[in-house]
Structure 1
Amino acid sequence: MIAAMTLALTTSLAHAADATCEAKAADKKLAGAAKTSFVKKCEKDTAKSACATTAADKKLAGAAKTSFVKKCEKDTAKSACATTAADKKLAGAAKNSFIKKCEKDAAASAASAASK
């Protein structure tokens, strides 16, 4: 139950972040690869702060907080990948392939960020 509520919260925050990040990119007059890169990083940073805020609200600390934030970010990435696939109107094998690659890229990105 709690996981479902957390996923719903982070999903709604991800959608809000998407619009906010897109607006920021437009304000900066970014286009093409620069815009894509900016929006992707912006959304990732927003998801991280949303997960950290939720962990703080739950008064988690130490290993429990770390575990929660890691799972929250992973769930948020999965949701974002599925949303992006839907926005691109992908279906069948193309959708599955896109989501699998998107989630793999998100996990690699999270791992490299965690090692820094």
Structure 2
Amino acid sequence: MKVFAGAIALVLPMLLQPALAATDQQNKMTVCNKEAEGKKGDERKAFMKECLSSKPKVSEAQKAQQDKMKSCNAEAKGKAGDERKKFMSECLKKG
């Protein structure tokens, strides 16, 4: 009986975890459903298809940071270890 109880204690959390954690797609579905309120039929279908297939929007600040990272990364070619870390830190701090 102890073995059975022990097995259940080990397996139960694994079985419940997927039910407790919402996936990104489920979150996206919730947001799209809320935004689609008032739409019906083909209009709603088209909206949901577009909404669910769209990628997250990147803000201007995020875009600028990504561009800075690409630029610094390109300049850091040939550097390794601490030298690269120091260079990247200084490069990314530049305005």
TM-score range, shorter chain: 0.3 to 0.5
Choose 1 or 2 for highest CA Rg. 2
Give the helix-richer structure, 1 or 2: 1
Instruction: With a CA cutoff of 8 Å and minimum separation of 6, indicate the structure with the bigger relative contact order.
Output: 1
Q: TM-score, normalised by structure 1?
A: 0.31
Q: TM-score, normalised by structure 2?
A: 0.38
